[in-house]
Structure 1
Amino acid sequence: MSAATLNAMKLVTAAEMRLLEKRALESGTSFGDLMHNAGRAVASEICGLFDSFPGKKALVLVGPGNNGGDGLVAARFLNDAGAITHVYLLAPRDPGDLVYNEALEAGISPIEVESDAGFSKLRELLGEADVVVDAIFGTGLGRPIGGASAAALTLVAEARNQRPDMVVIALDLPSGLNADSGEIDDSTLAVDYTITLGYAKRGFFLFPGADYTGQILVADIGIPDGLDDDILSEVIDEHDVLSILPLRPSDAHKGSFGKVMVVAGSTEFIGAASLVCQSAARAGAGLVTLAARQSLHPVFAAKLVETTHLPLPETAHGEFASEAAEVALARLVKYDAAAIGPGLGQSPDTVEFVHQLLSGISENTGLVLDADALNALSLTPDWWDIFNHPAVLTPHTGEFARLSGLSIGEILANRMEICRKNAALWGKVVILKGAHTVVASPDGRIAVSPSANPGLASGGTGDVLTGIITGLLAQGLDEFDAARAGVYIHAMAGESVRNNIGDTGMIASDLLIQIPRAVKSIKEHDHASCH
């Protein structure tokens, strides 16, 4: 996503986009100005994709509505930029259409589908075009694509298969992609770039639509500043993360960067605790302590040489003893943040141990609950009325289903709104993990990860995320800031590994050294932008 573009990080529904345009009109911006700005901005973005644009062959597919009008304006500016520009009209334009007449005055001679028998001219243009712009349908489409438009999109897809160097661009969104749900039409094109108008749309970060947008660029269409202050959804951005990263003063000591306690691990899940501890330290925490069953201490002590340890009492059968929670809580008052749950197990004694911890923990302790802590919560009806401590919850879809009582299908059908609604109900910051992870705050804010990395769909990567967030909490960030910064850093670490070895065979421990490198990269990009 283009981080330098105005309004790039806000995320809107189709209804919110219409509202923002309405506000712009009421503030004195004309509809013509918005369309002119949109077309010019789209053309500018397209020109910027090429080292040398004059002489390139551009084909703009124009539909019947406002999206088609934006396409006509873009075609005129592409023509002015030196492109050999052709416009293909898939529906008649009104003879009084201002932008249509301006295109004619600029020397563009649109080809009308009615006069192109068998799409012969379209096939010819597709055989030569360097760039094709889909300006057929926008956010207002409420029906399946059919007729000439569907046929034209099919021909573009076929031409692209034959000519992979041809660049395909969607204006605002690929035709047929639902801006809210990410659902697609059978004719929707998977494009190389989506140049979206004003704001990114929610459907770009929901599947299957997320697979069709290509790289997303946000074009400024001139909506005045301040009109979007009540838009509470955003895409997490590097510059935003930079603004909330903890400071690292030169005269610091380990106490300056917070103390983390990790309550995790079991005989079956040794690795989970190890990953949380190491990732909390790699995220910058000054001290990390692992609280685990005492019989596991020799294993953890050999593996985690930088971590301190709090062996917890256990029974002869290897379960937490009744006094284990009291021991942990007595030490926990000296810590800034705690991660509870990864790899603990789900035996009745463990569930009781978790409940005792949560009922006794201080409100001054930053808290991240993951995995088996979430499973323990879900066993209590209306658990959110009983456990009212501020916390970050990090469920995957299955854990979210258990916490909420919703089906996985219900959650996947509307991930952002479901996450927002339940964050408010539970009074917690909730991270719904997955491709384009969603972070929701109880106050209604949503932050969405720009990344969808299949390499992260492997055991232990969620434990790494838990550790990063807990480390950031210990350094003084609030729950929402720690969650969105942690999600972004985790995603950057994953992208770094993918760029190096690919997304097959990525394992959680690959991410660990990439965590501080991701933080360093964020800081260096800001430094470079100042010079």
Structure 2
Amino acid sequence: MSRSSSPIISPEDSKILDLKASEINKIPPIVLMEEASSQILNRLQIDFDLTALNVAIIAGWGNNGGDALSLARKLKNIGVKVKVFVFPNEKGSELYFIQKNILINSDFILSDVERFEEEAGDFSLIIDGIFGVGYKYRKNAGMDKLFEIINRSGATIVALDVPSGLNTDGGASVKADYTYSIGFMKDVFFNISARKFCGTVINLPISFNINNIKSAEKFYIDNIEEDKAEKKSDFVHKYQRGAVCSIGGSPGKYGSIIFCGLSALRGGAGVSLVLTNRDNINTLSAINAVLIYDSIINFKEYLSKYDTFVVGPGLTADDPERAALTELFSSNKKFVLDASFFTVFDKNTLKNFKNSPILTPHVGEFKRFFRADAADLEKDTINTVKNSAVKYGCFILLKSSFITLATPDGKIYIFDRSNRILAQAGSGDLLAGLIGSKLSGGSESLDSIFSAVGIFYKIAEYFRDNGYLTYDMERFIDRIGMEV
């Protein structure tokens, strides 16, 4: 398996990199600004047929506005119809002033932003260059109104570096269709409360040297590829391929745990066992003969052959079953904890595990399980997930429209391949089973997660790209077997 990643930085880091590029690397700030606007222009030409669009640029008075004015000049030079709106009463930064004078001396008409509301409906593409990473949200009725006008204009909105006003406090913000992040991805994009305002996020590199700042060990995952050319021996038996035990279900309810068990099997495990409520066993044996079934309280019979346990899909547990699982957790095994695990047990249970378990909660489950530790989850997602992973010695894969993965040693990985097809009951069961299959096959925890997530997204994108609005669970499971 191969994967590529790039650093994620904070807005403060971005400002330091800008300063260090000049101080250490001797790159004049105006050169960086011209580089940024050229990168933006190149990306716009990839994403849009600019000749068919009527473009508005709203330029603030800081360096983000300077980027926007430099872009306006380059758009005009290639024949794009563009109109620029500025804030004439604001004192601009030095670089903004340079770019503004270039336009004025090139007979470029700059319009007062006060006129934008009456003209907003005339534009098919709006470039938001009002505020950049240095902006701190504050209540401003005039600015809030401008953001609202931009958002309801009906035009496609591209934000430069960050959507103007982006905040995690519920304040007004531009809601971009695209965000062109300059230099490196920003961590503020990946707060749950902010992500929906950023649209499709695309990083545009410029001559920042990441070694000029201390690494925060936050990474954006650009790509994951399974190495299908890797030679696999044919001289194996089923337990050598991996043995996964999935534990869950409740009396009369067993769909989730079947999907989990089948995903583990299709994911490469040689054998897949389901431990569930004793009342389900005869029914499950009759409707699906591919998996092996037994009662949760009989778990000890399987400890010698099964090293990986996925616990939680559809789980309810009476007192004997809860006691059995608590005893299981203290064994020297590998665990994936999902779904109803976060309801049946509390976070104090995590101290029982000898090996760092992999937790796969969605947002509601994370809040319910970690309680006070989850207080800032919506507003400070990366740090909240990281702190919990370090505190409790576990891997946490938080599922929202994107995935936030934190490791016990405090590293963060972001998988940002939003796909509405995955917002469907059962998708989490499939991912948990797939992670379990990779663990049982001998991969380390982090590699197992990366491999499973890569396959998971690839299959979802296959369905989306072939016109599906949803997916059939059995077909998804079959695709897992094709991708492994």
TM-score with structure 1 setting the length: 0.79
Structure 1 Cα separation of the partners of residues 77 and 235 of structure 2: 57
Sequence identity percentage: 24
Conservation of the 8 A alpha-carbon contact between 1:354 and 1:376: no
Given the alignment of the two structures, is residue 142 of structure 1 paired with residue 136 of structure 2, yes or no? yes
Conservation of the 8 A alpha-carbon contact between 1:134 and 1:175: yes
Amino acid at match of 1:103: L
* Residue-by-residue CA offset, 1:403-451 (whole Å, 9 max, x unaligned): 4232765433333221110100111101223332321101111223314
The answer for the alignment partner of 1:173 in structure 2 is 162
- Residue in structure 2 matching 1:236, options 221, 245, 254: 221
Q: 1:147 to 1:297 in 2, by over 3 A?
A: closer
| Shift in Å, 1:171 | 0.9
Structure 2 Cα separation of the partners of residues 404 and 472 of structure 1: 26
Given the alignment of the two structures, is residue 370 of structure 1 paired with residue 355 of structure 2, yes or no? no
- How many residues matched? 476
The answer for the alignment partner of 2:248 in structure 1 is 264
Q: 1:345 to 1:95 in 2, by over 3 A?
A: closer
SS of equivalent residue, structure 2 residue 453: helix
Structure 2 Cα separation of the partners of residues 340 and 303 of structure 1: 22
Conservation of the 8 A alpha-carbon contact between 1:8 and 1:198: no
The answer for the alignment partner of 1:43 in structure 2 is 41
Amino acid at match of 1:490: F
| Shift in Å, 1:340 | 2.5
* Residue-by-residue CA offset, 1:351-389 (whole Å, 9 max, x unaligned): 101011111x22xx432122444445417xx44434332
Q: 1:50 to 1:8 in 2, by over 3 A?
A: farther
Conservation of the 8 A alpha-carbon contact between 2:137 and 2:166: no
* Residue-by-residue CA offset, 1:185-218 (whole Å, 9 max, x unaligned): 42x3323221111122233333443222222221
Conservation of the 8 A alpha-carbon contact between 1:43 and 1:75: no
Given the alignment of the two structures, is residue 86 of structure 1 paired with residue 60 of structure 2, yes or no? no
Conservation of the 8 A alpha-carbon contact between 1:236 and 1:488: no
Structure 2 Cα separation of the partners of residues 246 and 478 of structure 1: 20
Amino acid at match of 2:160: L
SS of equivalent residue, structure 2 residue 79: coil
The answer for the alignment partner of 2:64 in structure 1 is 67
Given the alignment of the two structures, is residue 487 of structure 1 paired with residue 453 of structure 2, yes or no? yes
The answer for the alignment partner of 1:290 in structure 2 is 274
Given the alignment of the two structures, is residue 353 of structure 1 paired with residue 324 of structure 2, yes or no? yes
The answer for the alignment partner of 1:104 in structure 2 is 104
Amino acid at match of 1:512: I
Q: Where do 1:370-389 residues align within 5 Å?
A: 370-378=338-346, 382-389=348-355
* Residue-by-residue CA offset, 1:201-241 (whole Å, 9 max, x unaligned): 2333334432222222211122125456723223333x2x2
* Residue-by-residue CA offset, 1:121-173 (whole Å, 9 max, x unaligned): 7744x45444321101112222436466445444434442xxxxx43211112
Structure 1 Cα separation of the partners of residues 428 and 419 of structure 2: 13
Q: Where do 1:419-438 residues align within 5 Å?
A: 419-438=385-404
Q: 1:229 to 1:208 in 2, by over 3 A?
A: same
Structure 2 Cα separation of the partners of residues 298 and 246 of structure 1: 41
| Shift in Å, 1:397 | 3.6
TM-score with structure 2 setting the length: 0.85
- Residue in structure 1 matching 2:301, options 320, 327, 330: 327
Q: 1:244 to 1:73 in 2, by over 3 A?
A: farther
Conservation of the 8 A alpha-carbon contact between 1:262 and 1:289: yes
SS of equivalent residue, structure 1 residue 393: strand
Q: Where do 1:463-482 residues align within 5 Å?
A: 463-482=429-448
Given the alignment of the two structures, is residue 212 of structure 1 paired with residue 197 of structure 2, yes or no? yes
CA RMSD of aligned residues (A): 3.3
Q: 1:305 to 1:226 in 2, by over 3 A?
A: farther
* Residue-by-residue CA offset, 1:98-126 (whole Å, 9 max, x unaligned): 2223333455332244xxxx62x7744x4
SS of equivalent residue, structure 2 residue 377: helix
Conservation of the 8 A alpha-carbon contact between 1:8 and 1:200: no
SS of equivalent residue, structure 2 residue 378: helix
Conservation of the 8 A alpha-carbon contact between 1:280 and 1:467: yes
Q: 1:398 to 1:159 in 2, by over 3 A?
A: closer
| Shift in Å, 1:511 | 3.4
Whose strand fraction is larger, Structure 1's or Structure 2's? 2
The answer for the alignment partner of 1:15 in structure 2 is 12
Structure 2 Cα separation of the partners of residues 147 and 266 of structure 1: 53
The answer for the alignment partner of 2:284 in structure 1 is 300
Given the alignment of the two structures, is residue 512 of structure 1 paired with residue 454 of structure 2, yes or no? no
Q: 1:427 to 1:151 in 2, by over 3 A?
A: closer
Q: Which runs of 5+ in 2 are unaligned?
A: none
Q: 1:22 to 1:189 in 2, by over 3 A?
A: same
Conservation of the 8 A alpha-carbon contact between 1:354 and 1:373: no
Q: Which runs of 5+ in 1 are unaligned?
A: 161-165, 313-319, 521-531
| Shift in Å, 1:466 | 0.9
* Structure 1, 507-516 or 19-28: larger mean CA deviation: 507-516
Amino acid at match of 1:36: E
SS of equivalent residue, structure 2 residue 48: coil
Q: 1:104 to 1:214 in 2, by over 3 A?
A: same
SS of equivalent residue, structure 1 residue 339: strand
The answer for the alignment partner of 2:182 in structure 1 is 197
